[in-house]
Structure 1
Amino acid sequence: MANYRDIIARYQDKPGGIIEAYHALQREFNYIPHEAVKEVARVFRLSEAQAYGVATFYSYLSVEPRGNYIIRMCESAPCHIAGADEIIKAFERELGIKVG
């Protein structure tokens, strides 16, 4: 497993490097560790709040550990009318998992 500092350093001089660094961290760790957010803030000269804001703005990035497989379900009204609730219950039952 790569060191998060090494990953971040690869992107520090690139335009848009913060997003690329977060993508690389996500690929390596399956989430963005808190210490990595602090390092991103230092390297990209941002406050920790700003670095955290970028990391949490995009729904495909996660600052919390999560499973290896992500199942996304539509939560709109038309999807619920079409039976999304039943599909979610089937996933929970068959896979032994809970939403979230």
Structure 2
Amino acid sequence: MTESTIKAAIEITNPTGLHARPAVKMTKLAKSFVAKVQLAFAADGPWIDAKSVVKVMALKAPKGAVLHFAASGADAGDAVAALTDLVRRDFDEHLEGEGAGSAGTGHGG
């Protein structure tokens, strides 16, 4: 049985780019899949392990950078789809500033 590699590319639109918090979200999501997931700035690499928060943070990808994902394994397609969707949603950063998980805000209703 041969493993195919699923690839996709997406531009970062998050105003602060791929900083620490989005890097953690991305690596946690990547780790939730069995597939080997890699990340690069260019379609031909160099590739890094998308499950390594240290390596992902070291990219310091700014807004406008294009992230290339490559995954191989049983759930590679799902992994690439989920990761590109996370980037498309700006790493859900907009949700954090709007009281999602309102613990500790001190604001009653």
TM-score (normalised: structure 2) = 0.30
User: Which has a greater percent of strand?
Assistant: 2
TM-score (normalised: structure 1) = 0.32
